């Protein structure tokens, strides 16, 4: 029977739910595969069990590959499992990898698209289920680190329509206008708890990935546990291993910021006071090197005392010499008369001669006559007596050319015996003004006779 069963069913592939999973001390794995109609025992030897990519547990639906055999000790048949994988996971992973490669080729996962998170966001938007433990963990962590204004956009995170709601929430946060009635978030957190690949599949949908990649607001992806990876993680600006870690990435610790600011304030005060302290130390060092003021003034004070004594002695000596000289040169009437006679004799020798005055007067008269002849030669009215005339315009300015005369509205011709007003050819006639009789020049003043002539 054993040979017949093994030859007939040397390779089978079964799908069922794990039940009664046990791992023996030898490393072998014992379990049962069941569905709604039947149960089949299974065994997986240690070598194959160590190569499993997941931890077998009761209730997991798997696809097992191997051969059927019998176990004579219990008169039962069973499957010896060579390979085992979660049911549907292989197809989902293949589809996931294909979608990832296609979106990566479009550049949605490029590092150059990643943006820096704001250091201290005023408003944080959270896209998650409002009833799960995720939102409570995020709010609790934010309150511990740095209380912030949080806006929650409730969505389904699993099942039919979850992907559409998550994508709409991300786009909705990005569409909020700044300074509007609803504050626009500075940072978004897309969060969900852990689960199987089927539970997290909504965050692998292309609609969610494109919404996160094109969001105008920086996004933190916190989907699943640390070992879970979705396409939303690749498209986000930052991936958090857990929703709690996302809250820690979003805001700093307020106490640490306060300590940092206090340290900066202390450093600033030290930086301000340090130059003053150094200046004070340098000033004190220089003051110590300076001599005492008394030491600087003592030589000068001594010199002043010496000069004072010399001055007193000099004045006394000068007064004594003056008294001696005055005593030697006593005034007497004979000395005064002798001085008067000497002065009269000197005055007589310096008597004035008339020739000195007459010579100087004649030189001044000749210079005056020369200036009179020069004035007569430069008199502009002198040529008028010889038939010349002076031409002036209406402003009294001399006209020196025919072009200037043609432009003037009125001309005045000055002759020796008067002035005649006229107009250039082509202009309106001008009524002649009465001729002005030239005044006779007043006779020169009579020359004063020379007192010495």
Closest listed residue to residue 217, CA positions, set 120, 117, 107: 117
With a CB cutoff of 8 Å and minimum separation 6, the contacts of 302 are none
**How many CB atoms within 10 Å of residue 62?**
23
The domain covering 93-251 belongs, at the CATH homologous superfamily level, to: Response regulator (3.40.50.2300)
Q: What angle do CA 63, 65, 69 make, to 5 degrees?
A: 125
Half-sphere exposure of 439 (CA within 13 A, CB side): 3
Report yes or no: 34 and 59 within 8 Å, Cβ to Cβ.
Answer: no
Q: What angle do CA 374, 377, 380 make, to 5 degrees?
A: 125
Q: What angle do CA 171, 175, 181 make, to 5 degrees?
A: 135
- Strand spans (E) along 35-169: 39-44, 61-71, 76-86, 123-128, 149-154
Cα–Cα distances in angstroms (integers) from residue 118 to residues 176, 185, 315, in the given order: 18, 11, 93
For domain 2-87, give the fold.
Answer: OB fold (Dihydrolipoamide Acetyltransferase, E2P) (2.40.50)
> What three-state secondary structure class fits 311?
helix
* Helix count and strand count (H, E) for the chain: 13, 13
| Residue ranges of the chain with per-residue pLDDT less than 70 | 53-55, 88-92, 95, 329-332, 350-357, 426-453
> Can you state the angle between helices 206-213 and 162-175, rounded to 10 degrees?
20
DSSP codes of every residue in 13-69: EEEEEEEEEEE-TTS-EEEEEE-SS-EEEEEE-HHHHHT-SS---TT-EEEEEEEEE
Structure confidence at residue 452 (pLDDT): 44
Q: Which two tokens stand for residue 317?
A: 């000596």
State pLDDT tens for residues 265-316: 999 999 999 999 999 999 988 888 887 777 778 888 888 888 988 898 888 8
**How many CB atoms within 10 Å of residue 135?**
19
With a CB cutoff of 8 Å and minimum separation 6, the contacts of 239 are 220, 221, 222, 233
Largest CA distance in the chain: 188
Question: The pTM is what?
Answer: 0.46
For the chain, give the mean pLDDT: 84
With a CB cutoff of 8 Å and minimum separation 6, the contacts of 398 are 390, 391, 392
**How many CB atoms within 10 Å of residue 94?**
10
> What three-state secondary structure class fits 170?
helix
Structure confidence at residue 437 (pLDDT): 45
d(CA 328, CA 330): 6
Structure confidence at residue 450 (pLDDT): 46
Cα–Cα distances in angstroms (integers) from residue 398 to residues 19, 357, 392, 421, in the given order: 135, 47, 4, 14
Structure confidence at residue 363 (pLDDT): 86
């Amino acid at each position: 029977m054993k040979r017949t069963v093994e030859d007939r069913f040397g390779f089978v592939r079964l799908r069922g739910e794990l039940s009664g999973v046990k791992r023996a001390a030898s490393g072998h794995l014992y379990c049962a595969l069941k569905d709604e109609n039947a149960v089949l025992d299974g065994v997986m030897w240690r070598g194959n069990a160590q190569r499993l990519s997941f931890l077998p547990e009761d209730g997991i639906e798997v696809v097992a590959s191997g051969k059927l055999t019998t176990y004579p000790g219990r008169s039962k048949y069973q499957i010896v499992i060579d390979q085992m994988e979660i049911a549907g996971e292989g197809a989902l992973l293949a589809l996931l990898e294909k979608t990832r490669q296609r979106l990566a080729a479009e550049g949605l996962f490029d590092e150059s698209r990643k943006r820096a998170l704001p250091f201290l966001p005023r408003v944080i938007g959270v896209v998650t289920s409002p009833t799960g433990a995720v939102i409570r963990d995020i709010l609790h962590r934010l309150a511990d680190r740095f209380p912030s204004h949080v806006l929650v956009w409730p969505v389904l995170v699993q099942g039919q329509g979850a992907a559409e709601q998550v994508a709409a929430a991300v786009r909705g946060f990005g569409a909020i206008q700044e300074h509007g009635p609803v504050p626009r978030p500075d940072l978004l957190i897309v969060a969900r708890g852990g689960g199987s690949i089927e539970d997290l599949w909504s965050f692998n949908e292309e609609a969610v990935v494109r919404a996160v990649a094109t969001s105008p607001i920086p996004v933190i992806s916190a989907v699943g546990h640390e070992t879970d990876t979705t396409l939303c993680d690749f498209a986000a600006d930052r991936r958090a291993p857990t929703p709690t870690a996302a809250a820690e990435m979003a805001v700093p610790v307020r106490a640490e910021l306060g300590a940092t600011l206090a340290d900066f304030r202390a450093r600033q005060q030290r930086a301000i006071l340090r130059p003053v302290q150094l200046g004070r130390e340098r000033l004190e060092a220089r003051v110590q090197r300076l001599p005492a003021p008394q030491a600087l003034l003592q030589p000068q004070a001594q010199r002043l005392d010496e000069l004072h004594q010399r001055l007193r002695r000099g004045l006394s000596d000068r007064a004594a010499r003056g008294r001696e000289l005055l005593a030697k040169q006593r005034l007497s009437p004979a000395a005064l008369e002798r001085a008067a006679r000497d002065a009269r004799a000197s005055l007589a020798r310096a008597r004035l001669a008339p020739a000195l005055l007459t010579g100087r007067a004649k030189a001044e008269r000749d210079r005056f006559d020369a200036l009179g002849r020069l004035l007569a030669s430069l008199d502009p009215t002198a040529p008028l007596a010889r038939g010349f005339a002076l031409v002036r315009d209406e402003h009294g300015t001399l006209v020196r050319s025919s072009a200037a005369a043609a432009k003037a509205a009125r001309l005045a011709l000055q002759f020796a015996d008067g002035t005649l007003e006229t107009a250039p050819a082509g202009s309106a006639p001008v009524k002649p003004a009465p001729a002005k009789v030239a005044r006779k020049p007043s006779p020169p003043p009579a020359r004063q006779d020379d007192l010495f002539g």
